[in-house]
Amino acid sequence: MTTRRVDNFLSILSGMPAHQSLFVSANQIIQIQHLFLRMISPQLAKRCVIGKFSDGILIIYADSSAIAAKLRQITPSLLSKFDSQVVSIQIVVDARCRRNSMSISSKQKPQLSQSAAQDLNQLALAMPVSPLRTAIESLLNNCKPNPNFS
């Protein structure tokens, strides 16, 4: 299905009385998400997502308790920026939120510069067998060298 067909389908569906409340809620959440992303840092935005919004109560899902704590710290500021649209904010820790964002980044191997890889390899060869040497060798095996780095 092309994008135009999907857009036409969604616009027809949004006009139907049976689905209108769903589209109104979805658009409201999208608007709140855009506002929310402008209010917080990009690093924090990667670790949380807007969940449900009803009756002035906004639920934000965080991927860890540390992120939830940071969100709780800035909740008064968020409430003032949302004006009267949002009356209360609830923060919920949801590990699935992190798993989804990690699945994208975990597919990419970390990169080392050519010189860093050579230096680490020389260091590992000069060391006696130890947990540190094993860790360095594991790092070298898991990272792909990037010839563009110097």
Q: pLDDT (tens digit, 9 = 90+) per residue, 59-86?
A: 999 999 999 999 999 999 999 998 888 9
Residues 80 and 128 reside in one and the same domain: no
pLDDT in tens, 10-64: 777 777 887 778 888 888 888 899 999 999 999 999 999 998 888 899 999 999 9
Q: Angle, nearest 10°, between helix axes 17-39 and 3-15? A: 120
Task: State which residues form the domain around 142.
Answer: 109-146
Give pLDDT, residue 76. 93
Residues 78 and 51 reside in one and the same domain: yes
Give pLDDT, residue 108. 64
Residues 34 and 67 reside in one and the same domain: yes
Residues 60 and 133 reside in one and the same domain: no
Q: For residue 4, give the amino acid letter.
A: R
Residue with the larger pLDDT of the pair 141 and 9: 141
Residues 69 and 113 reside in one and the same domain: no
Give pLDDT, residue 72. 95
Per the structure, the count of domains in the chain is: 2
Any idea how long the chain is?
A: 150
pLDDT in tens, 104-138: 555 566 777 888 888 888 989 998 998 888 888 88
Residues 83 and 141 reside in one and the same domain: no
Give pLDDT, residue 71. 95
Nearest to 36 by CA among 81, 72, 68: 81
Residues 25 and 94 reside in one and the same domain: yes
Residues 114 and 61 reside in one and the same domain: no
Up-side HSE of residue 77: CA atoms within 13 Å toward CB?
9
Residues 122 and 99 reside in one and the same domain: no
Residues 93 and 136 reside in one and the same domain: no
Give pLDDT, residue 93. 93
